[in-house]
Structure 1
């Protein structure tokens, strides 16, 4: 179990908060070069039956956040502080035994690399059946029948025959479906999908995303989609959290984020997406620079070294003061630009590039 810190007294569950509620989450890794601040004060809520898309560049803290929810970080070099409530149960500071009971049954994860996540030594059916036997107390026969049922539900042809195949006998798309079957075999209430469509062709991507939506409608599960692909977010998510340097820099509904983003980093992500209706010779507009080192994040706004607008903020606050998202703003951005400045910049400089 990770090295965890928690309040001396546990607060009562707040009914107004989501099925999954994260407050002031910090995840730091001890390394030879210093402390990596992978997640640096993150808060969000997720309701049952809803899908949250978490987007950002590699190293922004997306996967680290969700591995903390599952309790999968190495305890030898990880320090976790904050509050993680799942259906009112405190996960921060929970024992490994308790987390093991929840993983697979109450919450489950679809990993990014299905070939690496599936063991090459066991059949696909056995790997799907194992958590069902562990959490549901089923016999081997019952678990095998459940594995066949789940393979059929996720669209594997001839599931009674393929249940005895090994992962290398499945195509990439079929392995990803098998991963989904394994994650959903116990009908978990929280599903975390980490880049579930990476390395899949666009047809299979669409099928996987449609499958997740259909299964969510059937079970009412809450889903977190971790991705750098805003197209995936637009297709699947209800709400979006944009992460940068271990922090949430913007949050809102998918419509708000896609149509009226308020943070320069969100503008950059949207502006770097190629469009089918754009001239073929029109160059893409990348975000300048590189993500900051999490060993020594820049002072003030972590995005200011790559931002085009810090000089428009009075007093140089971008370079000295950390911006926060106001609690009373459902669609908010951690940015020192005034609402009027954001509206003007977006209307005059950003929106024309997004059309």
Structure 2
């Protein structure tokens, strides 16, 4: 079940935090769309703004410390600045999130069964007995052995990987229309990763859900995503379908992500090619392209343009880069693709 019309629209989203040292521009003008039945993969280094942006969708930032602007529309409803009671009806029901760190996301004071059952009782009006049975069902779905017994255990009695599966069970308990998965398979072994990803795809196929997958693992993106958004320094620097971005990437930062990955087919003695330098400060971001200080192709543009002028991300398929499309194709084919062979 897919549709071309977007279920979620994020337009010019900005999330700024005031600190003693100044304003941290964690997300600075981000726009994207996700349609029902499609999966958007968001990739980028730690600190690029992936989690901050998606938490803003659910209104999870404190209004006292975070300034959120732009438009967030979910199924036609405007969420930016929406009252808390509206967001409470949304969270865990229409939209849900799998948080990156289950140890801090789960309460140590309550059993995992109670925590999974709570949103089901609140949003579906289920009885305690029905909610408990649903919690057991979800624990079984995410691969927790002996779920009827483990439902009464506390988070500290689970391993890190099992806690992650509990978080996924909690997010899926109400069959949400939008699922935001923030590094959902980080703490899991490869076999369980495949089971969890299959479960997410089954949810999408059955209910036509829209999924946002945040991950550092480009292999996961290649396997489950329909579209890809590459973030750097609080902004989107490239987007397109998964086939377009992974087969013919256009931004030097995306090239760097690909060449820094180990490959099964590569010579075991072949060294990885890291991205030189460090991500930009979000307190004092560079006035031009945020990737310019680390980019090996700045001289190809010339005239100091990369350092002075911030490139725009075009609509649809494209990259926020001053290199021409012909240069992007040429440099990728001549300099980058041979490294991936």
Give the TM-score taking structure 1 as reference length: 0.92
Q: How is 1:1-355 mapped onto 2 (pairs within 5 angstroms)?
A: 17-327=5-315, 330-355=316-341
> Which has the higher mean CA deviation after the structures are superposed, 40-49 or 206-215?
206-215
**Gaps (5+ residues) in structure 2?**
none
> Which has the higher mean CA deviation after the structures are superposed, 275-284 or 30-39?
275-284
Deviation sequence 1:269-313 (CA, Å, 0-9, x none): 000001111111111100000000000111111100000111111
Distance of 1:173 and 1:37 partners within structure 2:
33
Distance of 1:315 and 1:70 partners within structure 2:
42
Distance of 1:324 and 1:264 partners within structure 2:
15
For residue 171 of structure 2, give the secondary structure of its aligned residue in structure 1. helix
**Gaps (5+ residues) in structure 1?**
1-14
Contact (CA 8 Å) 2:301, 2:322: kept in 1 or not? yes
Aligned-residue RMSD, C-alpha: 1.4
> Which has the higher mean CA deviation after the structures are superposed, 173-182 or 56-65?
173-182
How much has 1:157 moved relative to structure 2? 2.6
How much has 1:179 moved relative to structure 2? 1.1
Deviation sequence 1:195-245 (CA, Å, 0-9, x none): 111132222222222222222222221111111111111111110000000
For residue 214 of structure 1, give the secondary structure of its aligned residue in structure 2. helix
Distance of 2:85 and 2:38 partners within structure 1:
28
Distance of 1:54 and 1:19 partners within structure 2:
17
In the comparison of the two structures, how many residue pairs are matched? 339
Distance of 1:308 and 1:155 partners within structure 2:
45
Give the TM-score taking structure 2 as reference length: 0.96
> Which has the higher mean CA deviation after the structures are superposed, 230-239 or 199-208?
199-208
Contact (CA 8 Å) 1:25, 1:83: kept in 2 or not? yes
> Which has the higher mean CA deviation after the structures are superposed, 261-270 or 224-233?
224-233
How much has 1:16 moved relative to structure 2? 6.7
